[in-house]
Every structure is written in structure tokens, then in C-alpha cells.
Amino acid sequence: MGDLDPLAVVGDRCFTGLRDVTSDLSALDGSGLWVVVVRFEGEVTCARFDRGGPAPRTWPSWSGPPTAAWTSSLDREAFGKGVVAIREAIAAGDVYEVNLCRLLSAPVGADIDILGLAGVLRTENPAPHAAVVRVPGVELASASPELFLRRDGALVESRPIKGTAASGAMFSDKDRAENVMIVDLVRNDLGRVCETGSVTVPALCAVEEHPGLAHLVSTVEGELA
């Protein structure tokens, strides 16, 4: 991030004035505006900011690697083999759901501003929970349509997505069954850390329209114990 000021943009909010950075999740019990990044491997970064305001209306241009410079961790053949292996595992009853991912990578200079990439993502895919985090040790740009977890005092909220179709009229019983399954998992997870009886589902399988597609979105809330 070089000499660029730390910041975080989440949805339509921008947070500045970095106060501290910690990996201690218990710090979230303190006051302040917190943005939390959890890596796939489990490493946690909690960044607290002093100020919150509207997200930028304009973004710097992206001066990082062009599209052709990015390489994939899985070519077409390897991805196809992964799909076959997953289907076999499902048929055997070993798993019921798998997310097959690939990693796109390219060399990025230390002086490149991650805000430029965030601007490209917001233009090409204006996701409601798009985010960018630029703090010491973390530079992240996301284009997520899904609210993973939000905390306001003792209230925690998750809005899992399961079910995607070309329009809200095209969802199947399978889509709704999968959404309910995920809601049950989130309820169970929140139930482990929330007051007994406080976990509720204010919205179940609500249709959320996006450009060119629609999602089934549910809302799960609870009060932390």
C-alpha cells in the first residue's frame, strides 16, 4: 500500500482514520467502527476506524496487470475433472455440497492502489456488499452480493444467499430447499454464541433482484450472549 492512507469501503460506507489493527476478536467488544477480514486459512485481521462517511463516487484508474496477464490455478481440463470428482463424492454420500474454486494470480507492484481494482469491480459488477480494505498487511477488493456477518452492539446479522436464477419467477423447489438448509446452518452457528431464544429469521427466501439475475436471500439475526 506504500504511503497510501489506510481505509475501508463496505457497501455505500467509507471508513477512515485507522486507530488500530489486531488479530484479537475480543477487541470487537469495544467501541468503534470495525472491519474484519478472515482469510481462508483462518488468519483474522480486525481494523478499527475513527470516522465513517459515504463511499467515494469516483475511483482511481486501475494501473495493475491487464486481463491477459492473469493466470488460473485450474485449466479447463482440471476444472472438468474437479466437477466429475465432486459428482462422484455426492453420489457416494461423502458430501452434499462443494464449492469448486480457482485462483487467478498476476504480479502486482507494491505501488499499485487497490482502490483502482475496486473501482473496476464496482463498474463491472455493482454488488451491494462490494468492499475494499487497505490496511497494513491486508489489501483486499471484493464484489460480494452477500452480507456474511454484521454486528451492531449485541445484534448480529447474516444474510445468506442460496438460489440464483435469471428472474424471480424462475426459482425451483430445490433452490428454496437449499436456502432453508443454509438458514438452518446459520441459525445453528449463531445459536452457539447468542442468547437462548434470540435467534430469529425476519426474512426467508426473499427475492433480491440484481442486473441480469435474481437471488434468494434470507436474514438471520440474534443477540450475543
**Active site (catalytic) residues:** 146, 162
Place of cell 475496486: 118
As a three-state string, the secondary structure of 43-102 is CEEEEEEEEEEECCCCCCCCCCCCHHHCEECCCHHHHHHHHHHHHHHHHCCCCCCCCCCC
End-to-end CA distance of the chain: 38
Bridge partner residues of 164 (DSSP): 215
22's grid cell: 489486531
Cell triple for residue 59? Answer: 475511483
**Whether 103 contacts 79, CB under 8 Å:** no
**For the range 197-204, what are the long-range contacts, defined as Cβ-Cβ under 8 Å and sequence gap of 24 or more?**
198/222, 198/223, 204/179, 204/180
Q: Partners of 38 in the beta sheet?
A: 44
Classify 205 in phi/psi space as left (phi over 0), alpha (psi -120 to 50) or beta.
left
User: What is the grid cell recorded at 198?
Assistant: 434470540
